[in-house]
Chains A and B, each alone.
Chain A
Amino acid sequence: MTYSSFLKAEFLVLWRRKQDVFNALLFFIIVVVLFPIGVNSSPEFLAPAAAGIIWCATVLAVLMALESTFKEDHRDGSLEQLVVSGLSLPLLIVLKIIAQWLVVMLPLLITMPLLAEMLYLPSSGFWALIGTLLVGSPSLFFIGVIGGALTVSIKQGAMLVMLLILPFYLPVIIFSTLAVKAAQAGLPYSGFLAMLLAMSLLSLVISPFMTAIAVKASVNA
């Protein structure tokens, strides 16, 4: 196995699982739609709340997608092959997350103009929202994958992953919504983006090692 053959196989598997990716996207849209219908559909409520709604839906969709990151690999033994491949496990995990990020986040980003319009998000806030999603979402993946790795050997892991990981997402959600609010008020928001970037980098440094520990412990459970 080499890093490139690993990455190629990852993309192939994700391509074969495109329905799962599509389901995550649908889930995301449905969660977003719940708010205008369930809470309040007036522009006065939705415009300031839009960023928060979109971020909460993103977080849930990402966690749903991440829960199954290692499940199939664990079942068929290919996760064990990664552990004993002689390649660096943290690096393999980074590659896996990059593949997942591209496949899950790009469709979400593409639906953003439509959803922003439906939630009456003004264009001043829209670009800030896209910025926070681009800069902040990698940290969602890097943190969330730790939960996915810890629960691979558990049958019903999705709920547990939510319970474990959602608290860690709070800062990302807070920084992002504050950034969009600042943009909507015409204030500078690059400080918040810098903080999101810092969180993404910090999680990039720490999470692959933590995930590798979790994967190693999980293959034998």
Chain B
Amino acid sequence: MQSFASLTISDLWIERAERDLCKGLSFSVQSGDVVRILGENGAGKSSLLKVIVGALSPEEGRIAYSGEDVTLDRSILQQDALYIGHSVGVKQRLSVAENIRWYCPDVCTNVLHEALKSLELIDYMDTPVKKLSAGQTRRVALARLWLSQKTLWLLDEPFASLDVKGVELLEERIQQHALAGGMVILTSHQNLLSLASRDVMLLP
């Protein structure tokens, strides 16, 4: 993880399905920030995260990561970013452990076991993901937060389908990450007063 990093977005304009989203949006995020993106359904929260991580191209706007302009080539940012979208990107045919090894190949077995224990997935380690519930599948994706060393977290509705304990666990982890100098941008309807240092409101 980088000791100090920042993300600056200026004059963004996303066009999707003939609608203008996030028109003129500018904001910046520094190490230690937890930013919550707010907006109604269809306001463009998910699209904004996709644009930041480079899965979607904006119509206009500039994105800078740690002082470097990454508008055209997002690879510096991508190497340092962890993105979990609505479909969490967990392979259905692989087991929990195989999925984690796919995403974080360097993690050692002890650490992996610890993380799976705290996420209550240890009993399912060798179960194919397609036999897990939606909440458990999300936990498999969230295990990346414990096991990879990325600075910038982009989490799209990370609390969806988690139980109370899962929510607590995740909130705690996000807080830890921010204290350690990471950056978190998330979209959520969860009340995160204790957690989010800032809100960005997307107007429809």
Assess A/B contact in the complex (Cβ within 8 A): yes
Q: Taking beta carbons and an 8 Å cutoff, which residues of A are in contact with B?
A: 1-2, 4-6, 8-9, 12-13, 16-17, 72-73, 75-78, 80-81, 83-86, 216, 219-220
Of listed B79, B87, B88, B98, residue having the most chain A CB within 10 A: B87
Which interface residue of B77, B94, B128 has the most chain A CB atoms within 10 A?
A: B94
With A77-B86, A84-B78 known as contacts, the answer to whether A72 contacts B93 (CB < 8 A) is yes
How far, in angstroms, from A1 to B85 measured CA to CA in the complex?
A: 16
Could you give 13 example pairs across A and B, Cβ below 8 Å?
A: A1-B102, A4-B105, A9-B94, A16-B94, A16-B128, A17-B93, A72-B92, A76-B90, A77-B90, A80-B87, A80-B89, A81-B89, A86-B79
The 6 closest A-B pairs by CB, nearest first: A77-B87, A86-B78, A5-B105, A81-B89, A86-B79, A77-B89
B132 to chain A, nearest CB (A): 12
Stretch at the interface among B21-29, B33-41, B47-55, B178-186: B47-55
- CB of A8 within 8 A of CB of B102, answer yes
Which of A75, A84, A219 has the most chain B CB atoms closer than 10 A to its own CB?
Answer: A84
Whether the Cβ atoms of A12 and B94 lie closer than 8 Å is yes
Say if the beta carbon of B101 comes within 8 Å of chain A: yes
Determine if A9 and B55 form an interchain contact, defined as CB atoms under 8 angstroms apart.
no
B positions within 8 Å CB-CB of A: 50, 53-56, 74-75, 77-81, 83, 85-94, 98, 101-103, 105, 128
C-alpha spacing A190/B141, complex, angstroms:
51
> Chain B residues near A83 (CB, 8 Å)?
54-55
Contacts A76-B89, A220-B50; is A86 near B75 (CB within 8 Å)? yes
Q: Which residues of B lie under 8 Å from residue A75 when comparing CB positions?
A: 87, 92
Residues in B whose Cβ lies below 8 Å from that of A5: 101-103, 105
A78 in complex: contacting residue of B79, B90, B101, CB < 8 Å: B90
Question: Would A2 and B83 be within 8 Å (CB), given that A12-B94, A16-B93 are in contact?
Answer: no
Contacts of A12 in B (CB 8 A): 93-94, 98
CA distance A77 to B56 in the complex (A): 14
Residues A9 and B98 in contact, CB atoms below 8 Å apart: yes
Q: Is the CB of B102 within 8 A of A6?
A: yes
> Is B103's CB under 8 angstroms from A1's CB?
yes
Complex CA distance for A13 and B102, rounded to whole angstroms: 11
Nearest B residue to A88, CB-CB: B75
Q: A9 contacts which chain B residues (CB < 8 A)? A: 91, 94, 98, 101-102
CB nearest neighbor in B for A15: B93
Chain A residues with Cβ under 8 A from B79's Cβ? 86
B146 to chain A, nearest CB (A): 16
Minimal beta-carbon separation of B7 from chain A (angstroms): 15
Complex Cα distance, B85 from A17, in Å, reads 25
Q: Which listed residue, A2, A81, A84, touches B105 by the CB 8 Å rule?
A: A2
Specify the chain B residue showing the minimal Cβ separation from A77. B87
User: B103's closest neighbor in chain A, by CB?
Assistant: A1
Nearest CB of A to B134, in Å: 12
Q: Give complex CA distance A72, B94 in Å.
A: 12
Query: B78, B85, B88, B93: which contacts A85 (Cβ < 8 A)?
Result: B78
Give min CB distance, A110 to chain B, whole Å. 25
**Chain A, Cβ-Cβ closest to B105:** A5
Is the Cβ of A80 less than 8 Å from the Cβ of B93?
no
Cβ contacts under 8 Å, B94 to chain A: 9, 12-13, 16
Max chain A CB contacts within 10 Å: which of B54, B74, B75, B105?
B105
Q: How far is the CA of A8 from the CA of B101 in the complex (A)?
A: 9
